[in-house]
Structures are given as C-alpha cells and as structure tokens.
Chain A
Amino acid sequence: MAEQTILGLDPSRIPDILTATWETLLMVGWAVLGILAFGIPLGVLLVVTDTGGILENRPLNRVLGFLVNLGRSFPFIILLVALVPVTRRVMGTTIGLRGAVFPLIVAAIPFMGRQVESALREVDRGLIEAALAMGATPGQVIVRVLLREALPGLIRGTTIMIISLIGYSAMAGAVGGGGLGDLAIRYGYMRFETPVMIATLIILVIMVQLIQWLGDWLARLLDRR
C-alpha cells in the first residue's frame, strides 16, 4: 500500500506533531513563568545577603547557597520521580501539563537563581554605592539599580534557562506530560518511525534557534553600555 508521504513522514502524524509542539510550548511557557517568579528573588537574595551585600546575612546566604547546590546536584530524571508525591499534593495530579510543569519549575529554580546571581554580580558596586549615597532604600537599590542595570544579563540568563528547559521538558513529557519529547519516544523510538523523530528534532532545533536569536536581540537592544 503506497501511501503518500512527505519525505517519508506519514501525513496522518501531522496533527499529533502539532499538538505535541503546542504542548511543549505550553509546558515551557508555564514553567518559565514559575521559574522566573522564584528564581529572580532567589538570585537577588543570594547577592544581597552575601558578604558586603546591602542586606548582608551570612547564615541565610550559606543556607541558600547550600540548598541551591543541593537542588542542582540532583539528576533531573531522579528529581522527577522523587517529586511525584509532592507534585500530586501541589498540583493535584502527576500527569499532563500540570503534572509536568511542577517538577520542571522545581528543578530549574536553583539553576535560574545562579543565572540571576551572576547577572547581578556584573553590576558595578559603584552604582550601588551611588544609590545608597543618594538615600535609596535596599528595596530601591534592588529594583531600580540591581535588576534594572542587570537586565541584559538577566535576559541572557533566561535564554539559557529556556533552552535547557526545552530539553528537560522532553523528559518531563515522557513521564506523562506529552509534548515533543514524548512524541519522539513513542513514535520514533518505540515504533521505529524515524521520520516522526526527525520531524520533532527539526522543530526543536528551530525552537532553540529562535529563542537564542530573540534573547540575543533583546539583550543587545537593552544593553546601553
């Protein structure tokens, strides 16, 4: 039976591929929001509580640093499984979009925290001092100086985070969240439909390239140095 194919791809798979693409975008999109919401404050805390920071607090800094390193030393696939009970409690389910987003957020917060930390450390100490000398409160220094001046660096860090997240989302998807990773495994690996796998790869490559390009462009646009 000579079915029509597009470069070997069975056209009846196309709706599945589009759905999977959409699922990946949703998963990554929601996860990015959650990661930024927690990762930015975490990064700020890592910087301001450090020695010589504007809210120096050595014990808190050490605890946070330890937790971040702890979080980052877990292989994602293990964290994914270990978190199942927590995911069920927090999200009400361990499968689908909701089930996949939660472990993604938890896994990426420490990574994002470090990205934010390193972006904020690029801000010249002199600017912080100038703001303090003008009577700025610690909150004003954080929002109006640290985060604002570090914006290009924060965007670069976020870009890196999103791209690793796309990779991670394939794993989370395989555990029940759907998405391109799941599709590639089910059709490409389990059913030996190589064209499906290649199609998902092409989509992932385009996605990564686009995000990198967008991130670079935005960071350059906002970098006034």
Chain B
Amino acid sequence: MIRVENLTKVYTTPDGRQIRALDGVSLHVRRGEIFGVIGPSGAGKSSLIRCINLLERPTSGSIQVDGKEMTRLSGPELRRERRQIGMIFQHFNLFWSRTVAENVAFPLEIAGWPREKIRRRVAELLELVGLTDKARAYPAQLSGGQKQRVGIARALAAEPKVLLSDEATSALDPETTDQILALLRRINRELGLTILLITHQMEVVKAICDSVAVMSQGRVLEAGPVLELASRPGSHLGRMLLPSWNGLTPSPGSSLVALTFAGQVALEPVVTRVARDHGMDINILAGELDAFGSVPVGRLLVELPRVGEELQAVLADLSARGVRWEVVARG
C-alpha cells in the first residue's frame, strides 16, 4: 500500500550546514497492516511520515501510495491524493474555533460534500469514536484522549485508504494511550485500514503493530514482522526489549546465552526440561515475558555451564524446541 524507495531528505540550516534527516530509507507497508516506525527522537521518523503525504518534499527517492508516485503529482492531483490519506498528530491539531462536529466535518467541507451528507457522515464517525454526546463541545473543553478521538474521526471522515499517525499517543497518559491504541486496532480490523505510525514508545509497537521498522540517524536499521524481528537473535528490536546485561561476564567454562520464546513455546517449561535432559544447572540472570498484540514473547538471559561442542548440543536442542538463541559471551 505504501512503498518507499531510497528516500533522502536533506535540510539546509540557516547557517548553511546540511543535515541528512533521511538517508536512503526504504520500506514497504502492506495493505491492511499496522506498520510502526520506532526510533529515538532525531532518528528521522517525523521527516519520514511527513514525506509520505508530501508535507515535506523529499530531496530524492520515491514514495508510492496505492501505486501512485506521490513525488510526481501536480498541485491539484496531490490535494486529491491527500484526501485519501488521513493523518493524526501528537498535539491533535484540532481547530479551536470549531466544535467537535465542525472539526470532523472539515475534510468533507473542503472536498465539497453536500451539507446533509456531511451531517450524516459526521454523526456516524462520532458514534464510531464514542463522542456523540460531545458533538457541540469545543476542543478546549475536551480531555487529551477525547481530543485524539476527534482527530481520529476527522482523519477517517473522507474514507481514506491509509492513516498516518505522527506520535499520536506521545502526549497522552498510559491509560488513555491504551484506549487510543485499542481504537486504532479496532479501526484497522473493522475498516481494513492500513496504518503507518511513528512512535518512540515500544508499548505502541508491542500493542498494535504487525510490522515494524527500527530507525536511527536517518536510516532503517531493520524492518519486518514484529514477532519475527523481536525473536531474531541480535536484532535491534530484540535488544530494545531485552533487559540489559551490561557488565555481566560468564564464569570460566560457561556461556551467556539470550533465549527468545515466541508464541506457544513462551508458555512451556522449556528451560527446566533442557536442564534436566542435559543434566546441568541453568542460571537465569535476567528475564521478561511480554506480549505482542496477543502473542506472548519471553526473553531470558541465562548462563549455561557449557562451552564448545557441549554447548552446541544444548543449543541444537533449544532450536529443536522452537527457542531462538544468541550466544552473548563465552567464558
């Protein structure tokens, strides 16, 4: 649905320095999925999402939304295409002088919908986001979560193919964040809407993303289905999720191994079985059980009293049981 190829964005600062916000970014968002881009601030996420609907013009590269090359559209064509791409924002960007209903009506007004049709569509959308009773309120009278619901209703008004979410939950408290994420998930499922979101919050990726790209310094470090990436040994995503083990060194004759259990295997007593079968003690140094959407993912950092060929045998056994592993250090 969205295909970004080799996207580059270079800014020139007022004092003439050049800053490479995007440095050859490529990614592919499939129809109907929730694709998250995660990274620290300054990684280029914001530039990336703003290039998709050309709020920022990329320096080079290609952006296709539903097969249309965005960078080559004329003014009127671009406006028509933008009506097919909804967008929500960290600070909601609601029109203060308009009521909730008038905010939601805005994209329909500018698209020239007839009044009666607008009225019906707005009622429908307010129902969808659960704000029917706030139709005549002004944004200043709403809570953060309610404001973002209005933002979502407004973004969906013109029945877009794609929803872009620019840190939509970053200004919200954890509980409200969960509600907004649940709403986005529901919209994605019920309307089959493709969502591209950027965030610096791992919870967002864990809660609703099907696929993820990890960005740093204007580049995509890795991208793929969340579960696969999270359980892939050595992945950046995995490292972001794993408890840190800085400074831990294995005792002589032992190895430090990071284990990842994704799906059903996360709920099975694999470690104790392996320990029993190989007649050894496994020392658990750190661990976490997490969930991606509804899939459980467990991570453990363990010390195995084995090196060399003996270690290989244990690792092969772990692989056979569906556990992914990475040898972090050898004693």
Binding site for B on A (CB under 8 A): 124, 126-127, 129-137, 140, 144-145, 148-149, 151, 222, 224-225
* Sampled A-B contacts (24; CB under 8 Å): A124-B93, A126-B91, A127-B95, A129-B89, A129-B93, A130-B87, A130-B89, A131-B106, A132-B55, A133-B55, A133-B85, A133-B164, A134-B83, A134-B106, A134-B154, A134-B158, A135-B81, A137-B79, A137-B110, A144-B110, A149-B97, A224-B96, A224-B97, A224-B138
- The answer to whether B79 and A149 touch across the interface, beta carbons within 8 angstroms, is no
- The answer to whether A140 and B55 touch across the interface, beta carbons within 8 angstroms, is no
Binding site for A on B (CB under 8 A): 53, 55, 79-83, 85, 87, 89, 91, 93-98, 106-107, 109-111, 138-140, 154, 158, 164
Give the complex CA separation of A134 and B95 in angstroms.
13
Known: A133-B164, A134-B158. 19 other contacts (CB 8 A): A126-B93, A127-B94, A127-B95, A132-B55, A133-B55, A133-B82, A134-B83, A135-B79, A135-B80, A137-B110, A140-B110, A144-B106, A145-B95, A148-B95, A148-B98, A222-B97, A224-B138, A224-B140, A225-B140
> Please, which residues of chain A bring their CB within 8 A of the CB of B140?
224-225
Give the complex CA separation of A149 and B109 in angstroms.
16
**The one of A126, A135, A149, A151 that contacts B110, using a Cβ cutoff of 8 Å:** A135
CB within 8 Å for A149 and B96 given contacts A132-B82, A134-B106: yes
**The one of B80, B89, B95, B158 that contacts A149, using a Cβ cutoff of 8 Å:** B95
Give the complex CA separation of A151 and B97 in angstroms.
9
> Please, which residues of chain B bring their CB within 8 A of the CB of A133?
53, 55, 82, 85, 87, 164
> Please, which residues of chain B bring their CB within 8 A of the CB of A140?
110
Least Cβ distance of B327 to chain A in Å? 47
- The answer to whether B111 and A135 touch across the interface, beta carbons within 8 angstroms, is yes
> Please, which residues of chain B bring their CB within 8 A of the CB of A151?
97
- The answer to whether B83 and A126 touch across the interface, beta carbons within 8 angstroms, is no
**The one of A124, A144, A222, A225 that contacts B109, using a Cβ cutoff of 8 Å:** A144
Give the complex CA separation of A22 and B80 in angstroms.
53
> Please, which residues of chain A bring their CB within 8 A of the CB of B79?
135-137
> Please, which residues of chain B bring their CB within 8 A of the CB of A136?
79, 110
The 4 closest A-B pairs by CB, nearest first: A130-B93, A135-B83, A135-B82, A126-B93
Give the complex CA separation of A129 and B158 in angstroms.
17
The chain A residue with its CB closest to the CB of B160 is A134
Give the complex CA separation of A140 and B79 in angstroms.
12
Least Cβ distance of A55 to chain B in Å? 11
Least Cβ distance of B96 to chain A in Å? 5
Give the residue among A133, A136, A148, A151 with the most B Cβ atoms within 10 A: A133
